Amino acid sequence: MGLTVDQLVAMPHLRTTVRAGGEGGDRLVMWAHSCELAAPWEWLGTGDLLMTTGLAIPAGAEEQRRFVTRLAAAGLAGIAIGQELHAPPLTAEALAAADEQAFPVLETAYEVPFVAVARAVSLANQSLEHSRLVDAIRVYDTMRMATIAGKPPEAVVDALATQLGVRLAVLDRAGRPVFAGAPAAPRQLGEHVARLAAERAGSLPSVLRLEGGAALVLPIPSRRFAVLLVEPRGQAADLSVLQHAATVIALEVERLSAQREQRLRLGAELLAHMIDQRMEPALIDAGLRAHGFDGHELVLAACRVDEPAVGELHHRLSDEAPAHLLLRRDGILHVLVPAASGALDVIDAALGADRRVGLSETFTAPGRAADAAREARWALKTAVSDELPDTRYGERAPLFLPRTLAEARTAVDRVLGRLVAYDDEHGTELVRSLATFLACNRSWQRACAELHVHKQTLVYRMQRVEALTGRRLRDTGDVAELWLALRARETAGASASSAGTNGGPRFIPTDD
């Protein structure tokens, strides 16, 4: 049955006495461990005896009462405090709390090392440790048999839950099931897990006990954030065995992540080929079918997210809207999805209320992907400038700018066409110099510093700009036209060239 607190106190060589909570003397001491962290209940489990020099014990009466209460709620066997070390005086409130909850508060003599207490507990529980080892072996055997049988990951989790006599759920940072075939956790528990993940920035201790119940949360050691939610059925499972189960489940999480990472990479390559128009239509159609697209209308979304968020969005879409392609380029995430799949709702939910998403027009021909990407980026700029969560191309436009690509091309051709053509023919940088000069509010000094050129060089370039465009940089109206044309060119991701067949300016789209 193991060693009880009363039996440990009765060992004369340990010189340990009871300060409070003596009615809990029949608690089993399954392990003894030294810990000086402020929240030891996050690192120790049921039946563990906390040994401390007192560094973790708060000084205030109310804080000490809460400290004892949390230790008792975590199921620890008791706390052994080193005498005459670093512990503050125990308050009457703390001792009363220990008595009320029958939680043993012990004091170990200064000259007795904690290792002596730990050794006594270990020797007394050798049979218990053997039982733990057998349970751990069974956990890994369950994994082996499930792998041989080719069972899906959710079936492995169910088999482990049956073996351990608990309910198990594998959840992501939003409190949703990691494995698509698994049932959702109870709503309140899922929401609690999401709050914990947000509060602790994804870094969790060895074990967290959810307030108001006996449920436990254990981190799963995988690259993707995942936790194991444990709901006991009757007697609580041993924490060390549960940690073995979390390790086994981590293998399934990693296997799923590896499959999805490969799919993400292949999808990004396919979408890049579509946008850059570097693949035969037949190959594009085959690639889309392989990723679950059924030939219906498509829409391309653009948003700004950091690299880790791309993986999380990919997992979310894989669970709820399998047909999708993601490509992150120049800080912008491009997402291609079927227009009627509900994937846009998934994207909105994943990015949250602060999202800024630009949407292209719907299209059916994959060859329109390049235009759709420009439309989505244009709509994204509008969403950012107007502080809108979602904007579809053509619905809104930045103030005084064209609303369509055709209008933008016309503006660029009429105002900047000869300038762009001159740059293309002579390898000059007149367009860039003009954009920098205007961005610096026509300050010669600042613009020269930005361009790393002498003032006389910039003066000559601006004279060429005036000659080619027929507009004067001292005229407010002309400057406004030049500025708006530059903005239209930037927003539409386009440039003009003078290499047209009629000798006039010709619009050539780029991938800027």
Tell me if 261 is assigned to some domain. no
Residues 234 and 142 in one domain: yes
The whole-angstrom separation of Cα 41 and Cα 268 is 44
Sign of the CA dihedral with 294 first, then 297, 302, and 303 last: negative
Q: In the structure, what pLDDT confidence band is assigned to residue 129 with cuts at 50, 70 and 90?
A: low
In terms of domains, do 183 and 293 share one? no
Please give the residue that has the higher pLDDT: either 266 or 489. Answer: 266
116: in domain: yes
Query: Tokens 């660029």 identify what position?
Result: 412
Q: What is the predicted pLDDT for the residue at 128?
A: 62
Same domain, 89 and 146: no
| Together in a domain, 102 and 180 | no
Q: Are residues 418 and 466 in the same domain?
A: yes
Q: Is the pLDDT of residue 202 over 70?
A: no
138 in any annotated domain: yes
148 with 115, same domain: the answer is no
Domain region containing 383: 277-392
Output the CA–CA distances (angstroms, integers) from residue 295 to 275, 363, 368, 451, in the order listed: 17, 10, 14, 48
Q: What is the SS3 assignment for 160? A: helix
What are the strands, taking DSSP E only, across 393-510?
494-497, 506-509
Do 158 and 202 lie in one domain? The reply is yes
Check the CA dihedral 5-10-15-18 and report its sign: positive
pLDDT tens-digit profile of 384-423?
Answer: 888 889 988 877 655 555 656 666 777 788 889 899 999 9
Average confidence (pLDDT) over 294-299: 86
Answer yes or no: is pLDDT of 486 > 50. Answer: yes
What is the spatial distance between Cα 150 and Cα 247, in angstroms, rounded to a whole number? Answer: 19
Q: Record the pTM.
A: 0.58
pLDDT the model gives residue 212: 62
The CATH number of the domain holding residue 202 is 3.30.450.40
Q: What is the pLDDT of residues 314-343, one digit of tens each?
A: 998 988 888 999 999 988 999 999 988 889
Of 254, 286, 306, which residue constitutes the final position of a domain?
A: 254
pLDDT digits 0-9 by tens, 63-105: 999 999 999 988 899 999 999 999 999 999 999 999 999 999 9
* 120 shares its domain with 137: no
| 362-391 pLDDT tens trace | 999 888 898 899 889 888 988 888 888 998
Statement: residue 507 has pLDDT above 50: no
506 — pLDDT class (breaks 50, 70, 90): very low
The answer to whether residues 137 and 195 belong to one domain is yes
pLDDT tens figures, 61-73: 999 999 999 999 8
Cβ atoms of 47 and 30 closer than 8 Å: yes
pLDDT at 469: 92
Q: Look at the alpha carbons of 270, 273, 276, 281 in this order and tell me if their dihedral is positive or negative.
A: negative
On whether both 114 and 146 belong to a single domain, the answer is no
**Structural domain total, the chain:** 4
Rounded CA separation 370/377 (Å): 11
Cα separation values, 217 from 75, 161, 226, 408, Å: 15, 14, 10, 55
Query: For residue 293, what is the domain's CATH number?
Result: 3.30.70
| Phi, psi dihedrals of residue 299, rounded to the nearest 5° | -145, 145
Tell me what the mean pLDDT of segment 121-145 comes to: 73
My answer on whether 234 and 160 are in the same domain is yes
In this structure, what CATH number is given to the domain that contains residue 498? 1.10.10.2840
Same domain (yes/no): 11, 114: yes
